[in-house]
Amino acid sequence: MHEIFLGIDVGSVTTKVVALSRDLSLLDSVYLRTFGNPIRAVAKGLERVKTSHPNIQVAAVATTGSGRTLAAKLVGTSLVKNEITTHTLAAVHILPEVQTIIEIGGQDSKIIIVRDRLAVDFAMNTVCAAGTGSFLDQQAGRLGLDVEELGRLALTSDNPLPISGRCTVFAETDMIHKQQVGESEADIVAGLCRSLVRNYLATVAKGKRLAAPLVFQGGVAANPAIVREFERQIGQPLTISPHFGVTGAYGAALLASRSEEEQPPFRGFELLERNFHIESFLCGECEEGCSVLCLYRDGDCIAHWNDRCGRYSAADHPGATGS
């Protein structure tokens, strides 16, 4: 059997799974849509890893992303960390001297300031989709382009047009108007890339010193026009993470490899054979009125969470998700 470390990143739009070998080389990575069903997404991700590498044994697993708690209950682990931690681990592993991490994903963007391999400050934009991967996907589709084509087309422009980047509605209205008056598509999308970078620096990175070296992570790092604009506006080169699309899961797998905590047996592959679902109920024991979540396996509730006082989750037997 081949021992591996797993990292699972469950987001609202995408779910990523990364498997690392004992020597921390990348064994496998899976990137797929969550489609509002994180249980099925995690199951599919694990199935792909298992199918490609049937003789594996999971030594440790960690979870991250907005659905990290659910993912941890599904696979049976106490290694649950936020995205700031896992993205920092990934960047430091790739470039130990990194001082600034730019991360732009499908639904949010963030900046992480690193000193001596530790995150010392960060900021996030989760309110508006302007500047995120989903907005670029949407605009590429409206223009009849793949998102990869959008970036390449923007690179051909010598005259990026001014486009509002602070709001998705204003940006789209601006782009449509410029199309209607006959402006070049290349100049329009180049202007969009320029304005999105300007908006990121003015809002997400506002007030922070972007010291070199800088690492660019997240799916938008695949867009060469965005990379060019960051380098032009910051005046520094960017290092593109080789695992930019699955950075959170990659960092979670690194976290799993470093853990010295004794973990319950990995039960994630049960998702491929047994029936899991979630139900919730309102607790009336105190004025908090928590909506408590319960994970069911084959009809039996095996784990609770989302109870702020811990009345139910603390009563779960340690490792209940894998019992």
Domain 2-86+249-272 has CATH 3.20.20.220: no
Structure tokens at 314: 């603390």
Span 239-261, pLDDT tens digits: 999 999 999 999 999 999 998 88
When pLDDT is cut at 50, 70 and 90, the band that residue 265 belongs to is confident
95-243 sits in which CATH class?
A: alpha beta
**For the chain, what percent of residues have pLDDT higher than 70?**
94
Average pLDDT over residues 298-321: 76
Ordered by start, the domain boundaries in the chain are: 2-86+249-272, 95-243, 276-322
Q: pLDDT tens for residues 9-43?
A: 998 788 999 999 999 999 999 999 888 899 999 99
Q: Do the first three CATH levels of 2-86+249-272 and 95-243 match, i.e. the same topology? A: yes
Structure pTM?
A: 0.86
69 vs 144, residue with greater confidence: 69
Mean pLDDT, residues 289-304 taken together: 88
126 and 108 Cβ atoms separated by less than 8 Å: yes
Task: Read off the pLDDT band of 318 (50, 70, 90).
Answer: very low
Beta strands 56-64 and 2-10, pairing class = parallel
Q: What percent of the chain has pLDDT over 90?
A: 54
pLDDT at residue 130 greater than cutoff 90: no
Is it the case that residue 319 has pLDDT exceeding 80? no
Quick: pLDDT tens for 157-196.
999 988 876 666 677 787 788 878 888 889 988 998 898 8
Record the tokens describing residue 7, joined without a space: 């990292």
